[in-house]
Every structure is written in C-alpha cells, then in structure tokens.
Amino acid sequence: MERVICLLIGYVFGLFQTAYFYGKTKGIDIRKYGSGNAGTTNALRVLGTKAGLIVFAGDCLKCIIAVCITRALFSTGHPENIYLLCLYTGAGVIIGHNFPFYMGFKGGKGIAATAGLILSFHPYFIVMGVVLFFGAFLTTHYVSLGSLLVYAGFMIQMVVCGQMGLFGAMPQSQLYEMYAITAFLTVMAYWKHRQNIVRLIHGNERKTYLFKKKAAEEQTEISGEDK
C-alpha cells in the first residue's frame, strides 16, 4: 500500500509542468514550438536561458519536495525501506512529468525531474550525476548525451551501492525491486530519447548553448572552416 501511495504522491507532483505553465505566461504553448517537448532544453531554446533555468529548477524542485514528503511520512514507520519508497515517489514524479493526463499524456522527457530524484535520494549519487552530465555537455554541447550518461551511471551506481550495503539492512528482494525500478526509468528515458540517439549516431544532433553569443561564435567558426 505504501508503494502505491508514494507513486501517487509522485505522480501528482509530476503533473506540474513548469515549461508548459511558464510558456503560458509568455502567451505560447511550448509544445507547439521547437522540438515540441515540454521540458528544460526546449524552453531554453525557444524562450532563452532564463526560461531554461526556471523550468529546470521547477521540474527538479517538484521531485525534491515529493521525496521529502515521503521521508516525512514514512521514515519513522518504515525506516528499513525508506530508500525504496523514495524511489517509488521519484518514479511517480517522472511518470507524471512525462505523461500528464490533462495534456494528453504529452509532457517532457523527465531529465530535470530525475536530477531532483538524484539530489534528494542519496548524497553519493550527486557527484557522479554532475560529472557525467556536465562532463558530456560542456565538451559536446549535447544535452541528450549528458542525460543518457546520467541514467547509465544512475543504473550502475544503484546496483553497486545496493550490493555494498549503502541502503542499510534492506532485504535483497527489495534491492532487486529498486534495481527493477531504476532499470524501468532508464529504459523509459532511452525510449523518450530514441530520436536523439539516432541523431547522435548520425552526427546531426542539435547542440545546445546556455548563451546565444557562444552559439553564434561557434557557428561563425564552422562557416569559416567550410569556406
């Protein structure tokens, strides 16, 4: 029963579509512009860096708040499986973000919400997530590549940390349950990024820049090389 409650808590928080609501304040439906995705990257490209940061913060924060509520509700009564319940909550947020019922189940790709899950789940997971994402993004400017690497690292680290006893005296069956949830989220993320993966393979994935000036400078350099 606790698992269902946590999923529902997460799903309700996941329904807050920051990109969609922020876009409405600017008079647009973000899903009708750019990639059509209601997420951080599309908001950044369509509405600018400020919008991208606001959307990222909103989508990240909604998962952090949901996980904190789960900890407040269940830490005392279920200390032995609180990490499992937090993971269910995070999964609920990501599912709600990706498939909001009131938007025809057309939401985002869940990466900012996943960042919130990683930040609120366990401190050990933060460093790897930051290194993998920003290491890939700052060197290639491919948000999709950084996002995919974060999920691969999250899956691997979940199994390694679980088998090393990081989550306390949790039964092996519940550890397997955590691995299954993480695997599900990973597969879903890769599926949501399937078109990005194809473009990455063919070398025509669109790059993303936090500052337009930097993008313009690189485009100028590329044009000069072509000449």
Residue 226 lies in a domain: no
Alpha carbons 177 and 8: distance in angstroms, whole number: 18
Residue 59 lies in a domain: yes
**pLDDT of 226:** 41
Residue 220 lies in a domain: no
Residue 221 lies in a domain: no
Residue 222 lies in a domain: no
**pLDDT of 156:** 94
Residue 204 lies in a domain: yes
**Number of domains observed in the structure of the chain:** 1
Is there a contact between 147 and 189 (Cβ–Cβ < 8 Å)?
A: yes
DSSP state of 210: S
**Domain span at residue 59?**
2-212
**pLDDT of 218:** 43
Residue 35 lies in a domain: yes
Token pair 């790897």: residue: 128
DSSP string, 89-113: HHHHHHHHHHS-GGGTT----SHHH
Burial of 1 (0-12, 13-18, 19+ CB in 10 A): exposed
Residue 225 lies in a domain: no
Is there a contact between 116 and 69 (Cβ–Cβ < 8 Å)?
A: no
Each residue's pLDDT expressed in tens, for the chain with a length of 227 residues: 889 999 999 999 999 999 999 999 989 988 888 888 888 888 988 888 899 999 999 999 999 999 999 999 998 887 888 999 999 999 999 999 999 998 888 888 999 999 999 999 988 899 999 999 999 999 999 999 999 999 999 999 999 999 998 888 788 999 999 999 999 999 999 999 999 999 999 989 888 887 654 544 444 333 333 43
